Amino acid sequence: MSLAPQVLDVASARPRIRPLRWVAGAVLLVLVAQFAWFLVTNPRFEWAVAGKYLFDPNILRGLGMSLLLTVIAMTLGSVLGVLLAAGRLSDFKPAAWACGVYVAVFRGIPPLVQLIFWFNLGYLLPRISLGVPFGPTFVSWPTNSVISSLTAAIIGLTLHEAAYMAEIVRAGILAVDGGQRDAARAMGFTARQSFVKVVLPQAMRVIVPPTGSQFISLLKGTSLVSVIAMADLLYSVQVIYNRTYEIVPLLIVACAWYLAVVTVLSLGQRRLEQHFGKGQR
Domain range annotation of the chain: 54-125+141-276
Q: Across the strands, what pairs with 140?
A: 129
**H or E, element range at 129:** strand 127-131
| Per-residue pLDDT tens digits for 92-121 | 899 999 999 999 999 999 999 999 999 999
With CA atoms as reference, report the closest residue to 161 among 115, 117, 97: 115
Residue 137 CA, chain-centre distance (Å), reads 39
| CA–CA gap between residue 132 and residue 130 (Å, rounded) | 7
Q: How many CA atoms lie within 13 A of 121 on its CB side?
A: 19
DSSP 141-160: EEHHHH--HHHHHHHHHHHH
| CA–CA gap between residue 80 and residue 83 (Å, rounded) | 5
When pLDDT is averaged across residues 152-174 and rounded to a whole number, the result is: 95
Is residue 126 within 8 Å of residue 143, measured between CB atoms? Answer: yes
pLDDT over 70 at 148, yes or no? yes
| CA–CA gap between residue 271 and residue 281 (Å, rounded) | 15
Q: Which CATH class is domain 54-125+141-276?
A: mainly alpha
Between 31-35, 40-44, 134-138, the lowest mean confidence (pLDDT) is in 134-138
Q: Across the strands, what pairs with 119?
A: none
pLDDT over 60 at 35, yes or no? yes
Residue 188 CA, chain-centre distance (Å), reads 39
| CA–CA gap between residue 253 and residue 258 (Å, rounded) | 9
Between 111-115, 136-140, 153-157, the lowest mean confidence (pLDDT) is in 136-140
